[in-house]
Structure 1
């Protein structure tokens, strides 16, 4: 009966525990995103120093995200996920015991970066596993469920958990509680999830040199198949603004008149919408075309709604419901980039892991590029200038998608899938 219910909503029962494990793990990763920057600034760091911390963290995420695709194929997805848990745990322990108490950037930057190496290896290795397991005609829905789990933990449940935990636990104990979620998520996603040997992502290599050559494939494929490289750029733009706002938007919103709790709830509403629409746009992409979904709902939609994040509270003041509504709209449009996770590996069916490495690199780079843009330009162009930079980037991503077309045989699959649904 449970299998029937899961099947009706497009989720494979064999991978359900994997989705659940990713969601729980990402609560631990994301519980501080909506408030850590403002806490560090209140504790003595400047906005630029906070941006530097998040930028280096984002660079570490980018490296781990790039490696996750090929490492999942070299080591196997499970082993790569275990490495992710270990790195996250080690980084968290040192960051909280030696970094935060001293506010010493020399300790905080490398240890927070070590923490950032962990979650891409855990989450994106599972995504590679999923692209091997799910059938082509249902791949958009399958990755939609992945991004539902990912965003639900990272941006929704983490934010809402913090809004309730901070008044009772304080900042430091709330950060410590992250380890509870990551360990529990790892137990569910790695050890309870039953592996299907027929869809194992692990490749066999004759020598270590062959394995290293395949790691390099995670970069060279972007040049061998330029459409894969363009997809990686679009994925970078996708969430660059979303990661950039965590550096400056909490301070801006509180200057407007919102409380920290209200901001966290608005931020949580943004990502709650994103979770719901991750699945919706995964299904829409399977029916109406992956490229068109990303181009119009993603690029153009985000360009409009991201600007609204600034102008709605600017003109209406600390209007909780109006600001929540535009945040919900932006979160929905962010989800329209989800079909990239089906489109890009389909451009390289013989090297899905390498293609996913480019996509994952883009996802990781967004956590780096977003804070870098804020740190580099906020002093000269202010908050409104930063808003327009990210708005422009979303429009550029829509234009780039004009060039990301599937080969004819893959297009036939999309057409048949669409006709079958009528």
Structure 2
């Protein structure tokens, strides 16, 4: 009976306040995304040092994304969200007070890194809430709404609000304001999800069995080659998203003369575009085929968009409206990888949970590798070197899509034909 709640266009109304909590929390978490790297360099640190802080943050986020699903199954998603919420608030205060406040680089790395472990515990555990409180044939649309509110928070509101608050209260004041949003989002979640259905099937497992289930997210990478290839493609998916948030503020603000507010509004336009493109490419994946959409519009589209994000602003200079063009292109094509979320469980139907964990791990590794690549290349090749590296990787992902053999509903005959050719 718990799973028969009313819906509005696929949005489960029994979890409506949980979605609100995600949007509010990720708004606070997203405040820093497009200006923190520039702020760290303003404190006297190098662009490479700023990129390394994001790299460490991404590594912690990748680890948390990997374990969040299984931990939520073991101790309940509500408790996991509470842990993530409390960790985020605690280490954000320490990060601002002793790290940024004292311009202490070791403490910046320590507290920002630990805080990076917190938000995936809060964010991804809500997917487990959805799975256990929504009818199985409605989970896809419910998760679609999840990514919608995620983008509204971390991308749109998380970029637009700082563009107005930074001129009034500064970067550090804006980061303190982020705490208010995350506190509000956490409290809303804790109150609204108290009575939500929780999984119990893993709580009776032995410690060894729980560790085995946790490790399956890694073992699938070498026991299923299609999962391994898909993981590689998913990692590349958001390289420009996480990488450009680190390197582009310095190019736009320091080199081209944009104000921080103008840059944040350009970045917000990218995220605003994804609100529509996520839905569009999800539908097109069902019509054209998952891998065709990923291959031609995701990989090739992102290769072209990444180059345009550098060359169009370089050519037109401080022109706000022309800067919106590559932002919109990037927002359009980054979402063409959306069908990958359906590919992973289809490749491992007997271990869908573990397959989704690999997907989460891959998403987290993208968060880690994007600034890592930037921190390695920036000192030697400047911004254009990083952009070219991302572009080459998107072209590599294009090649890897031909190695992924997945059976998509409605495309079985095409899959069988490919298998016969491969076998022959």
After TM superposition, the score normalised by the length of structure 1 is 0.90
Report the Cα distance in structure 2 between the residues aligned to 1:371 and 1:101, rounded to whole angstroms. 23
**8 Å Cα contact 2:166-2:261 kept in structure 1:** no
- Structure 1, unaligned runs of 5 or more: 416-422
**8 Å Cα contact 1:235-1:362 kept in structure 2:** yes
Which residue matches 1:249? 248
Which residue matches 1:45? 45
The Cα of 1:238 is off from its aligned counterpart by 1.1
Report the Cα distance in structure 1 between the residues aligned to 2:409 and 2:298, rounded to whole angstroms. 25
Question: Greater CA deviation, 58-67 or 293-302?
Answer: 293-302
Secondary structure of the 2:45 match is coil
Q: Does 1:362 align with 2:362?
A: yes
Cα 1:136/1:227, change in 2 over 3 Å: farther
Cα 1:6/1:277, change in 2 over 3 Å: farther
Give matches, 1:149-298, under 5 Å.
149-193=149-193, 197=197, 200=199, 203-254=202-253, 255-298=255-298
Report the Cα distance in structure 2 between the residues aligned to 1:139 and 1:339, rounded to whole angstroms. 15
**8 Å Cα contact 1:72-1:80 kept in structure 2:** yes
Report the Cα distance in structure 1 between the residues aligned to 2:296 and 2:137, rounded to whole angstroms. 22
Secondary structure of the 1:177 match is helix
Q: What's the CA shift string for 1:240-274, capped at 9, x where partnerless?
A: 22111122211111212222111111011011111
**8 Å Cα contact 1:137-1:413 kept in structure 2:** no
Q: What's the CA shift string for 1:282-326, capped at 9, x where partnerless?
A: 233344333322222211111111110011111222221111022
- Structure 2, unaligned runs of 5 or more: 416-424
The Cα of 1:190 is off from its aligned counterpart by 4.2
**8 Å Cα contact 1:241-1:370 kept in structure 2:** yes
Report the Cα distance in structure 2 between the residues aligned to 1:4 and 1:286, rounded to whole angstroms. 26
Cα 1:252/1:408, change in 2 over 3 Å: closer
The Cα of 1:94 is off from its aligned counterpart by 0.9
**8 Å Cα contact 1:21-1:190 kept in structure 2:** no
Secondary structure of the 2:337 match is coil
**8 Å Cα contact 2:5-2:134 kept in structure 1:** no
Cα 1:231/1:186, change in 2 over 3 Å: farther
Give matches, 1:118-129, under 5 Å.
118-129=118-129
Cα root mean square deviation, aligned: 2.6
Cα 1:66/1:410, change in 2 over 3 Å: farther
Q: Does 1:391 align with 2:391?
A: yes
Q: What's the CA shift string for 1:161-185, capped at 9, x where partnerless?
A: 1011112222222111222211222
Give the count of matched residue pairs: 411
Cα 1:135/1:290, change in 2 over 3 Å: farther
Question: Greater CA deviation, 395-404 or 243-252?
Answer: 395-404
After TM superposition, the score normalised by the length of structure 2 is 0.89
The Cα of 1:366 is off from its aligned counterpart by 1.3
Report the Cα distance in structure 2 between the residues aligned to 1:180 and 1:326, rounded to whole angstroms. 32
The Cα of 1:408 is off from its aligned counterpart by 6.5
Secondary structure of the 1:209 match is helix
The Cα of 1:414 is off from its aligned counterpart by 12
